[in-house]
């Protein structure tokens, strides 16, 4: 079953589920991206400590920005019922 079949169906429960998952993916994507950007620019924001100044923190921030972008993309794509 493709997304078009689910969006065109009269099943309100399925539509609500797709909308809920999409909104959650948008929100979590923005949250992850925001935390990653905050860690990277923490020195410019005058929030420095031992963790945010380290190289592993910058690597971690890059990874969570990538993960946040993927969550945001998944919210746009809405491919929750893909056959595996």
- In tens, the pLDDT along 16-75 reads 888 899 999 999 999 999 999 999 999 888 887 888 888 999 999 999 999 999 999 998
CB atoms closer than 10 angstroms to residue 61: 20
Is residue 19 one of the residues assigned to a domain? Answer: no
Give the predicted TM-score (pTM) of the model: 0.77
Directed axis angle between helix 12-40 and helix 55-77, to 10°?
160
Q: Is 33 a domain residue?
A: yes
DSSP state string for 11-75: -HHHHHHHHHHHHHHHHHHHHHHHHHHHHHTTTTTT---TTTTSHHHHHHHHHHHHHHHHHHHHH
Instruction: Give residue 77's pLDDT.
Output: 84
| Residue 17: inside a domain | no
In a domain, 29, yes or no: yes
């Amino acid at each position: 079953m493709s997304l078009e079949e689910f969006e065109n169906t009269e099943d309100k429960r399925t539509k609500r589920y797709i909308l809920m998952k999409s909104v959650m993916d948008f929100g979590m994507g923005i949250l992850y991206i925001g935390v990653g950007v905050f860690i990277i620019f923490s020195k410019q924001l005058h929030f420095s400590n031992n963790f945010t100044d380290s190289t592993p923190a910058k690597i971690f921030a890059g990874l969570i920005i990538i993960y946040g972008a993927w969550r945001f993309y998944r919210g746009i794509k809405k491919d929750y019922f893909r056959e595996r």
